[in-house]
Structure 1
Amino acid sequence: MKMFTKSRLMAVIATSAALSMALAGCSNPTADSSSESDTGAQDYWPTATQKLDGVELTMWVAQNSNKIPVKVVSDFEKATGATVKLETIPDPYEQNVQTKTTTGDTPDLAFWQPTQSMLAGFIAQDKLQKLDNAPWVDNYTDGIADAGGVVDGTRYAALVSTPPVMGVFYNKKVFEKAGITDIPKGWDGYVEAAKKIKDADIDGVESPLFEMGGSQWGTQYSVQIQLAEAAQDGLWDRVNSGKEKFTDDTIQTAISNYKSLFDEGLYNKKRWFRQGYR
């Protein structure tokens, strides 16, 4: 079976992408068709379990996520007879991937952030296979199909499992001892709950909040959670275009709010209230 109609096309997928879905997209012989007349061919997709005996595929994965696709790769190999090699690219993943693809070294599939800005460079180089009209999109939970991977109306990514989200885990027993009966809502409720836990002076609880800040990259989440609504309203587009700065009120306020949690002694001694990447 002819896998690609271009030379080594690369299907880019999110860090929580469905390998079997993406591979089905890669085997679409019409993805590079320039004909507008044959609509039947344009909409053709092989089945997810189509036999691919003898086909060998390479998928690039990051060091911190190279276990995510193992199960779906195994299932896909059993269902199709294809062989998928997972190749871990050293950190910093994004920079190394971009360097390799610029020199002509491309995989069949790769983990990637499916945002418009992150996909733009690959789209400009015409290195992504289009996944339009993919039948598996209808199997997504409502709202997931729009979570990423679509640029200017064209789909370039396949999401596999639940996309990473930002949120908070909490200890129910500690909440009970602090007299917190309702789940906090919004940033103010979050801070109020942390203060109640601190004031309750619960035995064994040295501080109410914890985050995986030792590796530094996780410290972005308290700030980004506060900016969620602003991001939906185009905050990062304004920042990227120079219309808004990190030092302007919106982002600076979120950073100051985050810093205040440390100033008030609310952070990082025990894992009773853990925040971060999930």
Structure 2
Amino acid sequence: MSPSDPLEPTDADDRLRSSSAGIRIVFGLYAGVLVAGFVTAAATLQAVSSASLAEIYLVGLAGGFLAGIAAAGIDGTLAIRLGRSRRRRASPSVPAVPFGAAAVASWWLSLESILTLVATGSAVGLLVLGYVVAELARTRYVEAVVAGDPLDSWRWTPPRAGKAYTLIALVWLFMALTGAASGNWTAAVVWVAIALGWIVAGVIEGRWQTGWGTQPEIRVYENGLVKRRPFTETLVPWEDVSHVRLRDDELVLDRDLFDVRLERSELADLETVRDAIERTRPNGAGRNRTAD
């Protein structure tokens, strides 16, 4: 099944149709950064003082935040529709492009440095928040598609963040401090945003054990396999899976360029999971049962 031909949500109950408080807040932050960045960038082209620019940014941030929360609350299926396909989930990152272009142009043309700072901060902020919006939207879509209890489920340990993963985040934070110490606030904002995005992605994916969120699980439903992380869920529709293979200490679901791989260190009883998948997957019984 291609991203342009997503599964249809089941009859979602009120819990699924209404966006949760967390999603509304994230939508609000995203809209706030978008509005604040736009009005402040426009104001930098006028003879406006730094204090006035700060006030404009805060007003835009507050106004956009409230508008985003309201929009997500009024349209209860907004997140579900947004999470239906990869193309839709990529759409929240699109507004970052003009801000990035404005940042490059302002630097290249030696325009007001405040414009470079605002455009750069808005671009990276929208990228980070756009990623969070997309992941939460995909989770709401998965919940709507597989509404109900799973046929089988197993506790799962997502790949952990190793020392190198953590070290990268610390290096980027150090670069941010270096930029701030030298007075290069644009570079500082960029490095902070990159580090924040890296950390947020790690938390969402369960790479760091924070104790927050739900217990990660692998779940089998009639229409697909769900990987539940502390804050997000992803769905692998059975229509996308061509083969299920148990190879050494790894269970592989062949899915063209997006194979799903589960190692024994993450999921102890791979054989049981494979058998459950083959019992559930259409035309899967009795196929691909031997290890490669």
TM over 0.5: no
Q: What range describes the TM-score normalised by the shorter chain of this pair?
A: under 0.3
Q: Give the structure-2-normalised TM-score.
A: 0.26
Q: Give the structure-1-normalised TM-score.
A: 0.27
